[in-house]
Structure 1
Amino acid sequence: MNPLITRTAVLLFTRPAGEEAACKSFGAGGRGADAAVAAQLIARATAMARQAGVDFLCVESGGQVGRTFGQRLAAALSYGFGRGYERLVVIGNDCPALTPALVRQAVRALETTDAVLGPALDGGVYLLGINRSFFESEAWAALPWQTAALGRALRQCLRQAGAACLTLRPLADVDNAHDLARALRQLPAGAFRRRLHRLRAAARPVAPALRPPRRPAAVAAPLPQRGPPIS
């Protein structure tokens, strides 16, 4: 194996499905159903990472350190570099359109460039690759994570550090029911798409069966009004 590749890892930064469902509503019909959708997204992200051909690290919320998202992500990167890796490719659990080919492209690119960004359509990033020498924990923790300004701020941070950066094609991420519906329209046919469709279909209310209109009860004709018989 390429010695450069052995010093590279894919890091999945995530949280358990229940915690994900507590923060995001996928329109699946309640917290339990949303957690089932989140579990599918996490499983897919894990599969993408494991197919990259390099080591795989997973940092769930239980192992994350810090008060803000930026602090926790910076700590996760510090953990990965502390394990001896020189290059990390970080992904989350919210981009179902991510493919193993794109992750492998990012891994290969880090052999010859300093950073890789996968821009999300909402202004954030769905993938972040970085060489150890261009990572600065405090500066990264202060970036506007989880906002539409992140992508621009991250590129500026990398430019100021003198890092050469490769940009992958933009992809949509999934943060709510609208995003999930759009992703389902765009995903190729397959088992993953079918599972998500089943979860959404199970949550849709069943329309009551139509009954024929009830006919009004027949009203008896009034008896003729007759006087008493004449004696």
Structure 2
Amino acid sequence: MREKTGILIFSRSTDIECSVKKFDGNQSFFESQKERLENLCSKTGLDTIWYNEHLQVGGNFGERFCNSISSVFSKGYNSLIIIGNDSPQLKYYHLQSSIDSLQSGRVSLGKSFDGGFYLLAIKKQHFNYPEFLNLSWNTSKVSSEIIQLLQTKAKVSFISTLKDVDNQLDFSSLLNFSKQLYTDVILILKRIQKFFDFNFQNPSLFNEKIIFGSFQNKAPPILSRVCRTS
């Protein structure tokens, strides 16, 4: 029997996310993230299951996270790729790499720079609720702890370490990763940081990517606002 794999997006809804993560441009950023994730996940052909605050159950992050995984596994899924909504560098090949790992019997982890992780791909037999619940959630130790736990269950494949966005400093520091970002994120950053110098990359290349949609994300309303304020 073919294994059933799904993508679990564990995140708050856009409005609640913006009320918690208060930084300039947050509404545009999380709206674009939601649309992009929908597009990326649809390309995989896998079921996409969103778990926002209306479906999450628990008194803290760890409980909500583990309960969400347990709930989706109970719906008949044998493997899950779990992601959030705050990693703008996430690309299709990160998802495909995790799919390949699962098909080879491995687990997959994408670490974030703050000590957490933005992607976890596991099979149902790798998930032990009490063990996962006991991890140091919302700390810089959680990625190292989950690696130690996963290595007792299967071979672990690692994908790129990416930046996630929790506050204004995180969002502004995305400028250091500009070549890895989609056009719409760059445009949002340009709009809110009027004095930013776009010498971080060749201006003609930047214009080409906007005009011809090299990043596959046109974002025309944001572009028109940027053009009027430039």
TM-score interval (norm. to shorter): 0.7 to 0.9
Question: Mind listing any 5+ residue stretches in structure 2 that lack a counterpart?
Answer: 197-230
Corresponding residue of 2:16:
19
Partner of 1:129: 121
TM-score when normalising by structure 1: 0.76
The letter for the 1-side match of 2:105 is T
CA gap 1:147/1:108 in 2 versus in 1, 3 angstroms? same
Aligned partner of residue 136 in structure 2, secondary structure: coil
Q: Deviations over 1:61-104 (max 9, x none)?
A: 10111111111111111121111111100000110001011111
Corresponding pairs, count: 194
Structure possessing the higher relative contact order (Cα contacts under 8 Å, 6 or more residues apart): 1
Q: Which of these residues, 154, 159, 182, is aligned with residue 168 of structure 1?
A: 159
CA contact (8 A) 2:102 2:108 kept: yes
SS in 2 for 1:76: helix
* 2:84 paired with 1:57: no
Q: Looking at CA atoms only, which structure, 1 or 2, has the larger radius of gyration?
A: 1
CA distance in structure 2 between the partners assigned to 1:190 and 1:97 by the alignment: 8
Q: CA deviation at 1:112?
A: 1.0
Give the 5 Å matches for 1:136-175: 136-160=128-152, 162-175=153-166
Post-superposition Cα deviations, 1:29-78, rounded to whole Å, max 9, x if no partner, equal: xxxx5333322233323332222231111111101111111111111111
After TM superposition, the structure 1 stretch with the greater mean CA deviation from structure 2, 142-151 or 44-53, is 44-53
Q: Cα deviations across residues 165-204 of structure 1 (Å, max 9, x unaligned)?
A: 11112111111112112224423475422442365258x9
Higher helix share: 2
Task: Tell whether the 8 Å contact from 1:96 to 1:173 is kept in structure 2 after alignment.
Answer: yes
CA–CA separation in structure 2 for the residues paired with 1:163 and 1:73: 21
Distance 1:133 1:190, change over 3 A: closer
Counterpart amino acid of residue 163 in structure 2 = A
CA distance in 1, matches of 2:191, 2:124: 40
SS of corresponding position for 1:3: coil
- The DSSP-based 3-state class of the residue aligned with 2:104 is coil
Contact between 2:178 and 2:186, CA under 8 Å: does it hold in 1?
no
Q: Which runs of 4+ in 1 moved over 6 A?
A: none
- Structural RMSD (CA): 2.2
Alignment correspondent of 2:99: 107
CA distance in structure 1 between the aligned counterparts of 2:186 and 2:157, rounded to whole angstroms:
33
